[in-house]
Structure 1
Amino acid sequence: MKEIQAYLDAAAEARDHRDELSSERPDPLMIARDYMDEHHALTCALFAYGSAKSIVAFLSSLNLGSGAADESSLRHRLAGKYYRFQNTEDIVQWFLTLEGLKACGGAEKLFKEGYVSDGITGGISSLISQLYELNPYRSQGYEFLIGKPIVSIAKSSAMKRWMMYLRWMVRKSELDMGLWSGVSTSDLIMPLDTHTFNISRRLGLLNRKQCDMRAAIELTETLKKFDPKDPLKYDFALYRIGQEKLLPF
């Protein structure tokens, strides 16, 4: 395990630079970093499913820096937009929800209402619940985008997009934005997707065979043995190693 730790420490350091985010190496974080805003970043994170190239192309087309807008202006700006499971109406409704989120104090405030008593999963559940309260609109695509509050760790998905958003907001590095305060990096849970799941099992960092919340927590606990204060510093490196099919051992 010492050999794996040394490899990951070196990989994490080598990957922690802006050149990892480019048109040749696309990642939704490159769009989020253009704005350095918690709400634009939330949009980038929640739409971060599918191929990285497609995600970045879609996010770039949204013109996130256009500022606040009423419903009429949003509908004009977003006319004809769609992304995989989200049609134009789903996207319009998401931006209306986001305006409501800003008006009631913002993502950080609502996350912390759950975090202070129930940790990371409580914070995510608090924020998701508030998003649904802000807008009565429902559809399959809209609900897929936001996800569901975490009722049971044992029955929850890995919540990869939400965990990635928290990494962006809490950690401060050459990649992550560190826009929030008062949330400990040691509390964060690994954003577990297929690439990270497969490479983690290959490296012996993860035993669980199902890519779910329990697996994300198991991997986080393993990485805390390498760095108890900041286990997610390995996330981007593990993701790239899996994505690029680099198998060191």
Structure 2
Amino acid sequence: MEKLKAYLDAEVEARDSLNELCEQRPDPLMIARRSMDELHALTCALFAYGSVKAIVPFLASLHQDLVDLDEPELRLVLEGKYYRFQNSEDIIQWFYTLKALKASGGAEKAFKEGYKCDGLLGGVSTLITSLYDLNPYRSKGYEFLIGKPIVSIAKASAMKRWMMYLRWMVRKSELDMGLWSGVQINDLIMPLDTHTFNVSHRLGLLTRSVCDMRAAIELTERLKEFDPHDPLKYDFALYRIGQEKLG
């Protein structure tokens, strides 16, 4: 394990740099960091599914100030825009929801209402519930974008996009924005996707065979053996190792 820790620590040090966020190695975080705004970052995180080569150009076309536009102007700007499962109405309604969230105090405030009572997953569920409460609009694409509140850890998906968003908001590094305060770094849960899931198995960090919330928690606990304070410092390195087929 010492050898594996040394390998991962070296990867973390090498990749904790803004040079990792470039056209040659695109990542949705490169768009989120342009504004350093929690609401625009939430848009970047929740639309971060599919091919990164499609994600980044789409996110680059969504400006931070869309959240402040009135309905006629917003519809004019977003007419005909779509992304995979979200049609133009889904995207328009998402920005209505963000505008309402901003008026209600923002994402951090909603998250902390759940976090202070029920921990990280309680915070995520409270924020998701708040988003639905702020806008009655529903569609398959809109609900896929936001996801579902966590009823049971045993039945929950890995919620990779939400866990990634929290990493961006809570950690402060060369990559992560650290816009929020009062959330413990070691409460964060690994954003588990196919790349990270597969490479974690190959490295002997994960035994669970299903890529779900229990697997994300298992991996997080294993990485706490390497760094109890900040296990998610390994996330971006593991993702890149898997993406680049190095591990």
Query: For this structure pair, what is the TM-score category when the shorter chain's length is used for normalisation?
Result: over 0.9
- The CA RMSD over aligned residues, in Å, is 0.7
Give the Cα–Cα distance (whole angstroms) in 2 for the partners of residues 3 and 172 of structure 1.
27
Conservation of the 8 A alpha-carbon contact between 2:67 and 2:99: no
Give the Cα–Cα distance (whole angstroms) in 2 for the partners of residues 62 and 183 of structure 1.
28
Check if 1:133 corresponds to 2:133: yes
Conservation of the 8 A alpha-carbon contact between 1:35 and 1:65: no
What amino acid sits opposite 2:212 in the alignment? D
Check if 1:119 corresponds to 2:119: yes
Q: How far off is 1:53 after superposition?
A: 1.3
Match in the other structure for 1:4? 4
Check if 1:239 corresponds to 2:221: no
Match in the other structure for 1:71? 71
Give the Cα–Cα distance (whole angstroms) in 1 for the partners of residues 155 and 225 of structure 2.
26
Q: How far off is 1:67 after superposition?
A: 5.7
**64-73 or 195-204: bigger deviation:** 64-73
Match in the other structure for 2:190? 190
**SS, match of residue 68 in structure 2:** coil
Compared with structure 1, are the counterparts of its residues 66 and 85 closer, same or farther at alpha carbon in structure 2 (3 Å cutoff)?
closer
**185-194 or 60-69: bigger deviation:** 60-69
| 1:15-61, Cα deviation, whole Å (9 max, x unpaired) | 00001001111000000000000000000000000111110010111
Q: How far off is 1:62 after superposition?
A: 1.6
Q: How far off is 1:64 after superposition?
A: 2.5
What amino acid sits opposite 1:244 in the alignment? E
Q: How far off is 1:66 after superposition?
A: 5.1
Match in the other structure for 1:106? 106
Conservation of the 8 A alpha-carbon contact between 2:206 and 2:215: yes
Check if 1:154 corresponds to 2:154: yes
**SS, match of residue 40 in structure 1:** helix
Q: TM-score, normalised by structure 1?
A: 0.98
Q: How far off is 1:196 after superposition?
A: 0.1
Conservation of the 8 A alpha-carbon contact between 2:67 and 2:96: no
Match in the other structure for 2:47? 47
Match in the other structure for 1:83? 83
What amino acid sits opposite 2:159 in the alignment? M
Q: How far off is 1:63 after superposition?
A: 2.3
> Equivalent residues in 2 for 1:168-179 (5 A)?
168-179=168-179
What amino acid sits opposite 1:34 in the alignment? R
Pairs aligned (count): 247
Match in the other structure for 1:144? 144
Which 4+ runs in 1 deviate beyond 6 A?
none
| Unaligned ranges ≥5, structure 1 | none
| Unaligned ranges ≥5, structure 2 | none
